[in-house]
Structures are given as C-alpha cells and as structure tokens.
Amino acid sequence: MTDTPPLFTAKGLRKAFPGVVALDGVDLEVHAGQAVGLLGENGAGKSTLVKILSGVHQPDEGEMTFEGESYAPRSAAVALDAGIGMVHQETNLLPGLSVMENIAIGRMPLKRGLIDYGALRNHARSHLARVGLEDLDPASPVALLSVGARQKVEIAKALALESRLLVLDEPTAALSREDSEILFELIDDLKAEGVGFIYISHRLFEIPRVADSVVVLRDGARVAGWPRGDVPTEEIIQAMVGREVDQKFPAPPDTVGEELLRIEGLTRHGVFEDVSLSLCRGEILGIAGLVGAGRTELVRALVGADPLGAGTIHVDGRTVRIGSPEEAARAGIAMVPEDRKEQGLALDQPVRDNATYPMLDHMAERGFVRPSALNRLTEQLADRVELRGHPMQLAATLSGGNQQKVVIAKWLPREPDIVIFDEPTRGVDVGAKQAIYRIINELVEEGKGVIVISSELPEVLGLAHRVAVLSRGRLTGVLPRSEATEQAVMQLAVEG
C-alpha cells in the first residue's frame, strides 16, 4: 500500500523452545508512520515475536531488517540502541525514582562526575512534551502518577532513546476509556512524526481506531493479514480461534442439581463491578475473559484472599461473610490459586506438609498432630490424585503437573462444597491435565460445585456446563454449554 521501503521487516521467523514451537515462519512488515495490529489468543506467539524483536530471544531461523539494514539484536540493550522501544502492559518504571530519572536511567547526564540535574530536567521536559505531559513536574516520583500517566512516561522514555519503532503490548489493559483515547491521539501524533508501531491488544474494538494493517497469529504461525485496519471483529475472531475444538475433554457429567452458591453485586472498586452469578450442585461453571478482565480478582475476593468492596455471598441459601481464606474454607469454599509456585506451594517444604496445611487443625488429637498421620493422609491423597512423588520430597523438585496435583489434593480432605480452579492446567503436561479434568468431574459427581477459570478457551468450553464471560471487570454474559462457542465467548469478552 506504500511505495516507501518498510521501516521494519521480518521474514520466516522461527523459534522453538523445548517441547513447543513458539513461532513457525512468521513474516511481518511495519512502515514508518503506521501501526500494525498484532493479534492472537494467549500463547499464539505474540510475546515470543516481541521478545525476538527486542533482543530478549534470538530466532532459530529467519531474518529481520530495520531501516533497510540487517537487524539481529543479541540483547535488549542492542535493540534499544538500534531504535526499537518497548512499552509493556505493566510499566517497567521504578516507582521510587522521579520521572526524569526514569526517563534517563542508565544514561544520566553528568557534569564533573556528578549527575547534572539541570540537564536531566530539561532532557525529561522536552520528551514529556512530546507525549502531552508538558505540565508534569519531571522531579515528581513515578509512584504518585496515575496508570495512564505512567504509560505515557514509558513512551517518553522510549522516545528519549530515539526509538523509531515502538512496540505497545496491551497498553490499554489498565486504562480507562478516556485515557485510552488520549493514548490513541498520542499514537496518531507520533505516527505523523514517522514513528512506526506494533500494537498488541486483546481489545479488538480498538484495532480499527489504531491500526493501519492487521496480522493474526495462531499457534505460532501467521494465519491472516489485512493491509487495512478496519477489519470486522468477526473476521479477526474467526482467524484467531480458527482451530477446531479437539475432543480432549470428557463431557461434563449430567449432575446439575439445586442452587449452591449465589453471589450478588460483588464489587471491588476499579477491579470488578456488580458481578452476580450462581452455581449449582454438580455444576461446572466456567469463567472466561481476557487477561485483565478481573476473573482471578473476582474469585480471590470470593475466597477472602483480597478484600471485597460490596456484594453478598450466599452458600446453600445462607448469607456468609468471608473475610479470609480461613473463613472461606469454613464456609466450604476452596480455591486452587492461579500461580502454584507463589500461591499454591511452599516450595522449600516437603510435599507432605504442603498437602496437609488446610488439615492441620482438623488432624489434631487432643491438640497434637502426629506426623505419621500426616504421612498416611498424604499417601491417600497421592493415590486419589495420581501424584508421583515421595511425601518427604521438597515441593520444588516435583514436575509442574505433580505440583498442581498437590495444590488440588490439599483441599480434598476438607470436603469443600465449592472448589474454584484458577488456571488449573497452566504449564502442566498432557497426562496431568487429564488427571486434573478427572478430579474436576469426580467433584461434581459428588454433588460439589466447581468454578473453572482458564485462559485456554477450549478448556473452559470443554469442561463447563455454563460459561460466564467477564470483560473489563463486568459480567457481559452467561452462556449455556449449547451456545458457548469460541466465537460467542470472544464476542462477549471483547465487549467494552
């Protein structure tokens, strides 16, 4: 569409990690003064592509050019020096330092060996002006800035390095609608100055506003591309999910009974608003949504891991107050958290201890727990979840799948009525996945209610009786299994 030579090209990029081909021959072209919308589901290969661009990873095959010259960065510093800047979803600013120090970090202007604060201030001010922050005091600490302002400071920092290509990775994930629009105007201005953009977003409705062309990745390959930005959302979604849902999920048992859990108007201000849902005995409720939609935050508040702003929780028709995970467990609600290494397991403690933490108080006879009883319980649990490992082995030495089984197993003896699984199969192998699906189905067959959150859409659709979809902290729909197609869910998930 343009006659000028492209600012950046990539041809046949391929990158394999042990066990997975993350990128499989991807081509990309960015022109000066234009933005490419780079789209794809989680795990499609976007981040790998970005990491190759920014020098974090080196490609196994393929070539890149930048401004007409061959480009093969060996490190992130090389990429920055070449003029390719990155702005991440979570900003990489140091909150304790001032705006000007953040902008010039690593290259502070010096005078006789000391930092020249006058020059530093002027340097920061000129770049802040380019992103519309001319009124911001360069000496103010980053910690005091709003998320939107931080995003702009991050862009100013990239511009200070004379970046001609900026990669924006989900820049609006934490921004309000107004702040997003201000960011888009800034992008327009910078485009006019000849800066090229790679724009990654799950918010498909933003794409026509920002992008001049669109590229869709799926399973590491480029599956679609349009030389224009105003591509209908349906076409993009079709390209993103294209694959058929494979039948690796056991059909959910026909076990749905009477209502077990009802939440009304659950709110945590700025995170999720006014979410009302119900869960029946014997039912698997899937919660879908994009990263940052508030899924994890919702269930964490439900089990008292985070404070809840407003709303009521009813279990079996009784209103319960849940202020801590301990109280949630007593109300019969257990959660298998999102990040097993940070939230699920004390990695330096034995499997035996990890698997019995929720039971410690319940195992005491006359106030004392016998380690032999803990061993016995651990062995029973290991049988039940097909755990491979010695009870005294440190949790850190288990494989991902076995670690996850420990995190699940620890709740089973408490017989919770409601079990919440947040990303239950992230980073686990196929065998462990099947075991985890089997446990989930066993729970509902016993009449318990299960909530499953997963970023893998096919997993949610394959497991759940019903699928609730969150978008930007709001419930945008609840679909019965028969209507919960990837298309339908994605449509609700990108709804603003």
Partner 1 sequence: MADSNEHSATEPQEPQARISRRVRALLEPLVSGSGPLLGLIVLGTVLAVLAPNFLTVGNLFNVLQQITVLAVLALGGTAVIITKGIDLSVGSVLGLGGVVAGYVFATAGLPMGVAIVAGIAVGALAGLVNGLLITYGRLPPFVATLAMLSVARGLALVLTGGQPITGYPSWFRWIATFRLFGVVPVSVLFVAGLFVLGTMYLRYRPTGRALYAIGGNEEVARLSGINVRRAKLKVYTTAGALAAVGGLFLTARLNSAQPTAGTTLELDVIAAVVIGGASLNGGSGRLTGTLVGALIIGVIRNGLNLLGVSSFWQQIVIGTVIAGAVMTDTLRKPAEG
Closest contact distance (angstroms) between CB of 319 and partner 1 is 21
Stretch that binds partner 1, among 33-41, 56-64, 65-73, 328-336 (CB under 8 A): 328-336
Closest contact distance (angstroms) between CB of 154 and partner 1 is 27
Under rule CB under 8 A, residue 346 binds partner 1: yes
Distance of alpha carbon 178 from alpha carbon 169, whole angstroms: 19
Closest contact distance (angstroms) between CB of 325 and partner 1 is 5
Radius of gyration of the CA atoms of the chain, in A: 25
The contacts of residue 233 (CB under 8 Å, 6+ apart) are 204, 205, 207, 491, 494
Closest contact distance (angstroms) between CB of 95 and partner 1 is 18
Stretch that binds partner 1, among 274-282, 283-291, 393-401, 465-473 (CB under 8 A): 393-401
Under rule CB under 8 A, residue 329 binds partner 1: yes
Under rule CB under 8 A, residue 317 binds partner 1: no
Closest contact distance (angstroms) between CB of 403 and partner 1 is 11
Under rule CB under 8 A, residue 337 binds partner 1: yes
Number of residues counted as binding partner 1 (CB under 8 A): 52
Are the CB atoms for 87 and 157 separated by under 8 Å? no
Half-sphere exposure for 78 (CA within 13 Å, toward CB): 13
Under rule CB under 8 A, residue 368 binds partner 1: yes
Distance of alpha carbon 331 from alpha carbon 337, whole angstroms: 18
Under rule CB under 8 A, residue 422 binds partner 1: no
Residue 106, Ramachandran bin (φ over 0: left; ψ between -120 and 50: alpha; else beta): left
Under rule CB under 8 A, residue 456 binds partner 1: no
Which residue, 88 or 414, is less far from partner 1 as judged by CB? 414
How many other C-beta atoms can be found within 10 angstroms of the C-beta atom of residue 20? 12
Distance of alpha carbon 389 from alpha carbon 382, whole angstroms: 8
Under rule CB under 8 A, residue 16 binds partner 1: no
Half-sphere exposure for 468 (CA within 13 Å, toward CB): 24
Are the CB atoms for 305 and 342 separated by under 8 Å? no
Site for partner 1 in 348-367 (CB under 8 A): 348-349, 353-354, 357-358, 360-361, 363-364, 367
Distance of alpha carbon 493 from alpha carbon 237, whole angstroms: 11
Element at 81 (helix H, strand E): helix 76-82
Under rule CB under 8 A, residue 321 binds partner 1: no
Under rule CB under 8 A, residue 441 binds partner 1: no
How many other C-beta atoms can be found within 10 angstroms of the C-beta atom of residue 314? 15
Which residue, 428 or 494, is less far from partner 1 as judged by CB? 428
Closest contact distance (angstroms) between CB of 394 and partner 1 is 10
Under rule CB under 8 A, residue 91 binds partner 1: no
Distance of alpha carbon 459 from alpha carbon 439, whole angstroms: 15
Under rule CB under 8 A, residue 260 binds partner 1: no
Closest contact distance (angstroms) between CB of 362 and partner 1 is 8
Which residue, 249 or 411, is less far from partner 1 as judged by CB? 411
Tokens 């600013």 identify what position? 93
Closest contact distance (angstroms) between CB of 217 and partner 1 is 22
Closest contact distance (angstroms) between CB of 430 and partner 1 is 10
Under rule CB under 8 A, residue 326 binds partner 1: yes
Which residue, 243 or 388, is less far from partner 1 as judged by CB? 388
Under rule CB under 8 A, residue 102 binds partner 1: no
Among 210, 328, 440, 450, binds partner 1 (CB under 8 A): 328
Under rule CB under 8 A, residue 419 binds partner 1: no
Site for partner 1 in 274-313 (CB under 8 A): 303, 305
What are the DSSP calls for 357-392, one per residue?
Answer: GGGHHHH-BTTB--HHHHHHHHHHHHHHHT--S-TT
Among 231, 280, 387, 475, binds partner 1 (CB under 8 A): 387
Under rule CB under 8 A, residue 390 binds partner 1: yes
Under rule CB under 8 A, residue 271 binds partner 1: no
Which residue, 374 or 460, is less far from partner 1 as judged by CB? 374
Distances (CA, A) of 14 to 20, 61, 220: 11, 5, 9
Residue 44, Ramachandran bin (φ over 0: left; ψ between -120 and 50: alpha; else beta): alpha
Distances (CA, A) of 1 to 31, 96, 213: 10, 45, 10
Distance of alpha carbon 294 from alpha carbon 278, whole angstroms: 17
342 DSSP assignment? I
Which residue, 242 or 358, is less far from partner 1 as judged by CB? 358
Among 72, 271, 347, 488, binds partner 1 (CB under 8 A): 347
What's the gap between Cα 476 and its chain centre?
Answer: 19
Under rule CB under 8 A, residue 323 binds partner 1: no
Tokens 């090209």 identify what position? 9
Residues making contact with partner 1 (CB under 8 A): 18-19, 303, 305, 324-326, 328-330, 335, 337, 342-349, 353-354, 357-358, 360-361, 363-364, 367-371, 382, 387-390, 392-393, 397-402, 410, 414, 427-429, 431
